[in-house]
Structures are given as structure tokens and as C-alpha cells.
Amino acid sequence: MGRMDADQLLAALDPDQRAVALASKGPVCVLAGAGTGKTRAITHRIAYAVATGMVSPRHVMALTFTVRAAGELRGRLRALGGGAEDVRATTFHAAALRQLSYFWPRAIGGRAPQLVESKLPLLREAARGLGLNLAAPALAEAVTEIEWAKVCQVHPDSYVFAATEAGRAPASGVECVRRLYGAYEALRRDRQLIDFESVLELTAAVLLAEPAVAREVHDQYRYFTVDEYQDVNPLQKLLLDAWLGGREELCVVGDPRQTIYTFTGATSQYLRSFAADYPGAALVRLVRDYRSTPQVVHVANRLMPGADDALVAQRKAGPEPRVTRYADEEAEAAGVAAAIVALIRTQGVKPSEIAVLLRINGHLERFERALADAKVSYVVRGAERFYDRPEVRQAVVLVRGAARAAGAGTDATGLPGELPAAVRHVLASAGLTPEPSPGPGRQRWESLAAIAGLADALAAARPEATLADFAAELAERAETGHAPVANAVTLATMHAAKGLEWDAVLVPSLIEGIMPIVHAKTAAAVEEERRLFYVAVTRARVHLALSWAPARAPGAEPTRQRSRFLASLQPTGTRS
């Protein structure tokens, strides 16, 4: 890329985003509000630094937290071209695992240990060894506690004190979790296994203990960008510091108002203290909101008031957000489904551009039933990545096998000639039927139908595409976390919705005890709940509907109070 191309990169940005790109030498802290184009700003900053010869793309590492976000970074950099496509955009875990696997034989000796994908099987075995008969929810909660302890560098012997100090109260008790944690770690070490936290810890340890390894890594990576910096935990910060090795070529991007993972050990303290940790750091605020209408932005600003970083809407005006009081939970679910039908039929909103966001996973089923009764297609989005689902893994293997057989000229499969028909034929063996069956198999069917939809899209774009092309497309999507978008309404928890956006967002069940959640006992915990609600609100581009119900069931006493967060909003379209 020449100088003209660098100028074109700047011309594509607003004044604040341009300030990010021009602050091309670190340290730099970007405080980016929801919908303000932070990914655009940081990818253009990297591309600008490459275009002006300030840094070689092979010396750049852009870090984020999810496979999907890393895939988006890679896609944006690839589109900008000029060498930016050669930048390493990855997650903390993927970068650490790659380095640990490479340096293990030299720094430690022998083959690298096997990675534990899930802690549950080992933890279940540890519980049996301790004579503990724990149900699945208790074991899942223990996994959360162990992961929190490990990222906060809390040893099993110190867990009870640290957990008590942090106000953590697992249902099985802190002493039970301490015993489980110790037994889990003993089993893991005996079998020479490493988990995701061990990967980060060991990579940092190798860098700190082996000067030759540190020199090699420091020579390779000299220019760092960290997205969603408010979500960094102490273990990730330890590793980042080891990668930096005292250097200051670091650009961090984040929004303290979107800190919603402190229960996992994440802390916005590193973002807030960046200027103190790096005296002379450039500070840029992104406040122009390109995502949401002024009406939605007004609600967001009322929810999280702040003079310095209030969002400034850039879109044209839209409908007023609504707060609706329903008589009971059943009426609320039916009302939400009716509102969705109206959005689709009278407003022309696509089902894929509508989401229902809930605080508690267990509340999803009520809205699933209401949407099914209203004949509205829906998908349930969880924390589990699409390509990690067992049925999706099976489907990918089946498609790959069918592609190999077709490539070898084997006709034993009897596949139809057209790609969409061939893919559906292959997926039929995994359980894909023309219509979904009611009941617990719904997600499996939706997953397989979404893969079939990808085949339709590929065939429409490239009529000559083969099964081998489709297998390659699936492999690339899996690597980048690029899940298919179904033509259906999304049901999700507020946590699972972070980083996503829709034209219409409906947020029901806004009552005390749910939002904020009942176990948010401290002021800090209540503020985290407020931030979570803020994240839900700022997912909406145009339509925003908030609701609550004072009674649990028809005819029951209306004893429940609306969420305290609704009191500060009062949009003009309020109905009571």
C-alpha cells in the first residue's frame, strides 16, 4: 500500500475513529461505547500502521475473547488488504496454546500434555473419589468456581478465604468446592492434562522463566491490540504482560459500561487504570452511535448516565421504546409473541432481525411455547458455540465424508446432483427432517436446518459449487466462528447477546429479583446487573420493547415489583 491508500483508510473514518488510527504508536486507550464502530476503528488503525510502514503485519497480534470475534477481526483486516490480512488476529487461548505447543519440547521437554476440553468428566470423577454425590447443576457451579479461582490465581488451599472475601456462595458450600478443586487439580496433574487456564498460566511461566523463548516471542510480536479490554481477567493480564515484556506498543479498546463478566474473574480495573499504568498514553473516546435510533440511545443514556461518554445517536429517528405491564407471566409471553407477529406482518421486520433477551436461561421455555403457539419460528442461542454442538460436529464429519466419496467417484451414496438436495440427503442420516418435531430435539433440528440453509446460500451464489466446496466453506466458518443466521426469532440470555445486534429487541421479565437478580446483594452486584440491562438495551437498532408482570400465574396475587431500573427510564411510549 502507498500513501494514497493510507489516506483512503483515514477518509473512511469519523473524526474520533480517525484519532484512533492516527494514534498509531502505543500506548493507546480507546473507550468505545456501544455501536460506535470500535472494530472498524481498531482494524483501520492496524491497517494504517501497516500501510505507512510503521509496523510489519507479521509483528502484529490482535487479541479478543471469542472465536467469533477473532473471525470478525480477520475478516475486516482481510477486506482492508494491503498486508493487513497477514496480521495474527486470535483469542488469548488460541495464541497461548499455539505458543505452548511449539515451545514445550524445548522449554519443558517431551510432548505437550493433552488439553481438557471440558472439566465436567474429570470433576465428576473427583467427586466420586471424595464420596460426594452431586447433581449436574452443583457440578456445573463447581466448574464456574474453579475457573474463577484459576483465572484469579487462587490456589485450592486459599479458595475458601478468597471466595468468602469475594462474596461467592456456591450452593454446595465453599468447603465442598475447595475439596473438589483440590481433587480435580490432583487428577489433572496425575494424568498430565492441561485445561484452558493452565494453558495461559504455563505460557506465561515459560516466557518469564526462559529468556531465549521470551526473546523469540518478543521479536515475533511487537504491536498489540486487545479488544473488549474490560473483560480481561488477572491470568490474561499476566500473559499479556509477559508478551509485552515491558514494551508499550499496546492499544486497548473497551467500554466499562459493558463489564458483565466479573463473576468469571473479569475486571474493568485494567481498563480504568490504563492511563495510570501507562503515563502519557493517548486516550480516545468513541461516542457516535451508528447502531441505534435516537430513541433507543436516549434509553441507554438514561440507564447509564455519564457526561463524558454519553452516546450520541447518528441514525434517523425511530419509534419510541415501550414499557408494558402485563397481568401475569403467561399474558406477558403471549403479549411478546403477539408483538413479534405484528413486527413481522405490519412492520416488515425479518424474523432473523428480532430477539427476545432474558436474564435467566430457565425463562426461555415460556417464550418458546408462546412463539410456537403463534406459529413463529425461533432459535435458542446459548453460550455454547454453534460449531461445538455435537449435532453440528457430526454433520460436518458427514459432509466431509460424502465430499471425499464424491471426489473419489464413489456413487454408493446415491447423492442427488444439486448441492442443496445432496446436503439434505447427507444430513437426513443425522436426523434432519422436512419439518421440526415438537419437544427437546428442536435445537438439533434447527442446527441441521441451518447447515442446510448454508448449502442453499452457497448454491445460489455459486451454482457450480460441489460438496467439496461446501465442506471447505463449513471448515472456514467453523474456524472463524461464523455461525449461520436462521430466518427465525432469536431467544437468548442477556449474557449470550453481548456483541450482537438486531432491528428489534424485546426484554421481558423486568421485575425485582430477576433484574436485578435476587442474589445481587451488594451495590457492586446491582451495578453489574444495571450494566447487563444496558447491554440488552443497546442490542436494539430500531424497535425496543420492555415488559414486566406483577403476578406469576393467571389469578395469582400481583406481589412482584417492576425492576428499579425501569423507574429511571420512563420512555414517552410507556403503558401501565
Residue 124, C-beta contacts closer than 8 angstroms, at least 6 positions apart: 139
Give the span between the Cα atoms of 543 and 343, in whole angstroms. Answer: 9
Q: Is 465 helix (H, G, I), strand (E, B) or coil?
A: coil
Q: Give me the pLDDT at residue 572, please.
A: 43
Residue type, 217: V
- Which positions of the chain have pLDDT values less than 70? 1-4, 307-308, 382-385, 408-417, 437-441, 480-481, 570-576
Residue pLDDT, tens place only, 335-366: 999 999 999 999 999 999 999 999 998 898 89
Q: Phi/psi class of residue 442: alpha, beta or left (left: φ > 0; alpha: ψ in -120 to 50)? A: alpha
Q: Give me the pLDDT at residue 383, please.
A: 47
Q: Give me the pLDDT at residue 456, please.
A: 87
Give the span between the Cα atoms of 52 and 69, in whole angstroms. Answer: 26
> pTM, whole model, 2 decimals?
0.86
The three cell numbers of residue 393 are: 460436529
DSSP state of 514: B
Backbone torsions φ then ψ of 91, nearest 5 degrees: -95, 160
Residue 514, C-beta contacts closer than 8 angstroms, at least 6 positions apart: 359, 360, 363, 563
Q: Residue 413's CB: how many other CB atoms inside 10 A?
A: 15
Q: Give me the pLDDT at residue 570, please.
A: 63
Q: Give me the pLDDT at residue 415, please.
A: 61
Q: Give me the pLDDT at residue 323, please.
A: 95
Residue type, 112: A
